[in-house]
Chain A
Amino acid sequence: MIWINFPAYALAALVAWSLALAMNRLSRVRGNTLIANGLVGVGLAVMATFVVTLWLSLDRPPIRTLGETRLWYSIFLAGIGFVIYLRWRHKWFLEYSLGMAGLFLLVNLAHPETYDKTLMPALQSPWFVPHVVVYIFAYALLAGSSLVAIKGIWENRLGRFQPSTLALADNLVYVGFAFLTFGLLFGALWAKEAWGHYWTWDPKETWAFLTWIAYLLYIHHRHHKPAEHRLHLWLLGLSFVVLLVAWFGVNYLPTAQYSVHTYTN
């Protein structure tokens, strides 16, 4: 019952990250940045340890339930936020991504998961891990790009928008989109093995496709009219809404009962 230990791990990570953010704010004091960075790393290490022990004790990759994917999402967000911060020194980006990562941990604290070892036969495939991990990685990157967009929309209101903000979003979208494409195609190849056809317009597949299309539109419009920042910012924000539907919302849509991918009974 390894999830029982989750609150301890999650609280440790939350405390480490909160301290890191607080120290980062006070970074004029020399040496603080180093300690703050160390604390972000500690939080990440704590969560990574939790995932590894969970994996071992479940005897299956912990990427099946929503709670488990939230866990990975939280780690990837924090990790990507950290790397991007180290690379570009955008403090606000670290704040946003650690904030989001913490939020996902809090959601998991509020909704403890079932202790559940079962994994239906169709999911027992070598495709399972790459497919889901690639997707979560893509989602985390694209969530990052949407955070950038929200900041851009806000700055635009205040009339202080800087095009370099959107350049950062583009980098995230390009890499995130490539991963999204991998996830989609892995999914198709796997579906062929598991269900006999690579694409069945099942609701979950349809929404995954819509997510892919939303970012595809962004990329093309961005290429076509590079100067229309306001529209691009909103396109990114809306794409994220579609992504969230694909991820959570599908279970609540009228077509959900026909989906082979909603594993709840």
Chain B
Amino acid sequence: MEHKEAPMWERPWSFAESFVVGAGLVLVGFSLEWANGLARMAELSWPANLQAILIFAMLVAVNFAVFRHRPWTLWLMSVPAAIASIVAFTFMALLMGLVPQGAAMSEPWRRLGMDSLTSSWPFGLTMLYLLATLLTVTLKRSFPFRWRNLGFILNHLGLWVAITAGAVGSADLQRLSMVVEEGKGPVWYADDGKQIFEMPLAIELLDFEIEEYVPKIAFMDVATGELLEPQNQHLFSADTALRAEILGWSLRVLEFLPTSGRMGETFFNINDFGSAAAARVLARHADGRQVEGWVGAGNALNPYHPLRLDERHALLMLPPEAKEFRSKVSIFTASGERLDTTVRVNQPVVAEGWSVYQLSYDETYGRWSAISVLELVRDPWLPVVYTGIYMMFAGALYMLWLGKGMKISPAEGDAKPEQARQGQSEQA
């Protein structure tokens, strides 16, 4: 295909100009970041963020209404501008994917904002570029309104709403953690790692409960201390119904104790605070050797008790993995109400505009933890973000509906969907 490339900056603007704008915004953004004096993008909080986004949307809309047919507006609603702004924004996302965020970083990188890109200027500017094109093209397809553009509008406006609300709302988002302990009474403060906040609600931990899976036993190389291929078959569940074959050893769990005490080389059933799991294992090698003995899991109070098979190999019981953990709590609100409830992973509880999540517990104690770590989240922009997401759902459904009906006008393209639709076979 022969292309006659138009000279740069001559109208209408196309890919080259659009990409230069994108790259320019990234460069300007990093320069602003370097200069450092300016407030960072995500630091605009309520109501300044709402005002900022309303002003921005109004500027784009007024520009569209007044200068709809001017070259710069036509450019803003063109696919080249869309693609360049998506690429610029994605470039910033890619940086975020490759550079660990929030990690310690040497000075030039930190000064460029590489450790906190979501609130950096280059990220903000490329996002504005994206939002400007996205909104302009949505307006173009909305006026005059046609039903067949509904899917397009839902996709594009939904994305606009979700990105905008997510970005400007990030300054109003609060994620705090609260540590509660059994028998210590209600706690009414939480912190974000830097600062302690007094909360409009207090939480008392009545009981922390945990259910565990049967722990796994690993086949260990004694010389290196490494678990042999832990991702592979050298790991088996301490389940009496199972049998494992590893490097010539046939292994069977004869007895399993979820909580145990130890006396010399043997273990017995006991349910005291801090007791760990243990299993009696029978190991037979193909060459006739046989070992029977106890392998015990360790925790904060008990050392591990491996079972030696020969000079090179031993069995080691890993700490059990949690199946479910939950906190039975009482939540007291400022208005004097009391709510008795259970907070589980995946099932947050809402009170006073805060969502309370089950985050963690004292893992060194495992099932004996008397501590529960809760996360308290307040995200006032969430309903707006969800509105955008639901619009995109509807848009995607519309795409499914249309699916193969991709419209390429025969004049522009040479692919005639009709042809394909009739199932034209290549060997015809």
Write the chain A residue with the least CB distance to B241: A1
Measured between beta carbons, the chain A residues less than 8 angstroms from B392 are 181, 185
Q: Is the CB of B393 within 8 A of A111?
A: no
Measured between beta carbons, the chain A residues less than 8 angstroms from B237 are 115-117
Q: Is the CB of A122 within 8 A of B345?
A: yes
Give the distance in Å from the alpha carbon of A18 to the alpha carbon of B52 in the complex.
62
**Listed stretches B53-61, B86-94, B184-192, B332-340; interface member:** B86-94
**Listed stretches A8-16, A33-41, A46-54, A201-209; interface member:** A201-209
A175 contacts the other chain (CB 8 A): yes
Residues in A181-223 with C-beta less than 8 Å from chain B: 181-182, 185, 188-189, 192-199, 201, 203, 206-207, 209-210, 213, 216-217, 220-223
Q: Is the CB of B325 within 8 A of A121?
A: yes
Q: Is the CB of B425 within 8 A of A88?
A: yes
A167 contacts the other chain (CB 8 A): yes
Minimum distance in angstroms from A144 CB to a CB of chain B: 13
Q: Is the CB of B99 within 8 A of A255?
A: yes
**Listed stretches B20-28, B38-46, B289-297, B412-420; interface member:** B412-420
Please tell me which one of the listed residues B79, B96, B385, B424 contacts residue A223 in the complex, with CB atoms under 8 A apart.
B79
Measured between beta carbons, the chain A residues less than 8 angstroms from B82 are 220
Please tell me which one of the listed residues A92, A121, A168, A258 contacts residue B100 in the complex, with CB atoms under 8 A apart.
A258
Q: Is the CB of A114 within 8 A of B231?
A: yes
A197 in contact with B175 given A171-B403, A221-B83 (CB within 8 Å): yes
Q: Is the CB of A118 within 8 A of B321?
A: yes
Question: B216-234 toward A: CB 8 Å interface, digit per residue (1/0)?
Answer: 0000000000000011110
B369 contacts the other chain (CB 8 A): no
Write the chain B residue with the least CB distance to A224: B79
Please tell me which one of the listed residues B103, B324, B357 contacts residue A196 in the complex, with CB atoms under 8 A apart.
B357
Give the distance in Å from the alpha carbon of A207 to the alpha carbon of B393 in the complex.
21
Please tell me which one of the listed residues B103, B397, B426 contacts residue A90 in the complex, with CB atoms under 8 A apart.
B426
A182 in contact with B393 given A166-B415, A198-B385, A227-B413 (CB within 8 Å): yes
Residues in B374-426 with C-beta less than 8 Å from chain A: 375, 377, 379, 382, 385-386, 389, 392-393, 395-397, 399-400, 402-404, 406, 408, 412-417, 419-420, 423-426
Q: Is the CB of B399 within 8 A of A120?
A: no
Q: Count CB-based A-B contacts (< 8 Å).
A: 188
Q: Is the CB of B399 within 8 A of A207?
A: no
Q: Is the CB of B93 within 8 A of A168?
A: no
Residues in B98-144 with C-beta less than 8 Å from chain A: 98-101, 103, 118
Q: Is the interface of A mostly helix, strand, loop or mixed?
A: helix
Q: Is the CB of B346 within 8 A of A193?
A: yes
Give the distance in Å from the alpha carbon of A167 to the alpha carbon of B405 in the complex.
10
Q: Is the CB of B389 within 8 A of A189?
A: yes
Interface size class of B (residues with CB under 8 A): 35 or more
B258 contacts the other chain (CB 8 A): no
A70 contacts the other chain (CB 8 A): no
Write the chain A residue with the least CB distance to B95: A206
A170 in contact with B423 given A121-B324, A121-B325 (CB within 8 Å): no
Q: Is the CB of B166 within 8 A of A164?
A: no
Q: Is the CB of B236 within 8 A of A188?
A: no
Q: Is the CB of A118 within 8 A of B393?
A: no
A163 contacts the other chain (CB 8 A): yes
Give the distance in Å from the alpha carbon of A83 to the alpha carbon of B84 in the complex.
37
Q: Is the CB of A206 within 8 A of B412?
A: no
Show 25 A/B contacts (Cβ-Cβ < 8 Å), sorted by A: A114-B233, A119-B323, A122-B346, A164-B415, A164-B420, A164-B426, A167-B420, A168-B420, A170-B417, A174-B402, A175-B399, A177-B399, A189-B389, A196-B355, A196-B357, A206-B93, A206-B94, A210-B93, A224-B83, A226-B408, A226-B413, A227-B1, A255-B100, A258-B103, A264-B231
Given contacts A163-B416, A166-B415, 18 further A-B contacts (CB under 8 A): A88-B420, A114-B235, A115-B237, A124-B346, A163-B415, A164-B420, A167-B415, A170-B406, A171-B403, A175-B404, A181-B392, A193-B348, A196-B375, A201-B118, A210-B90, A213-B90, A222-B408, A253-B97
- 8 closest A-B pairs by beta carbon, nearest first, are A226-B413, A206-B97, A224-B79, A121-B345, A171-B404, A167-B420, A163-B415, A89-B425
